[in-house]
Amino acid sequence: MKLLFEENVSPQLPQMLANEFPGSVHVREVGLRGADDQQIWDYGLRGAS
């Protein structure tokens, strides 16, 4: 399972949890810093399909 970490948590979490959740990213890594919730949801849905 991949996780998409939101802006209010440490951007280091994807690296820290890489063994348990490979492929997880922080919104900063995918150009969504400052994005609204809908943009983040849309990104997550595209990645899930």
* Statement: residue 48 has pLDDT above 80: no
pLDDT score recorded for residue 8? 93
What is the average pLDDT across 2-22?
A: 95
pTM of the complete model: 0.83
The answer for residues whose C-beta is within 8 angstroms of residue 14's C-beta and 6 or more apart is 3, 5, 21, 24, 25, 26, 29
* Statement: residue 10 has pLDDT above 80: yes
What is the average pLDDT across 22-30?
A: 95
Q: Over pLDDT 90: what percentage of the chain?
A: 86
| Structural domain range at position 40 | 4-48
Task: Count Cα atoms within 13 angstroms, Cβ side, for 45.
Answer: 6
- Per the structure, how many domains does the chain have? 1
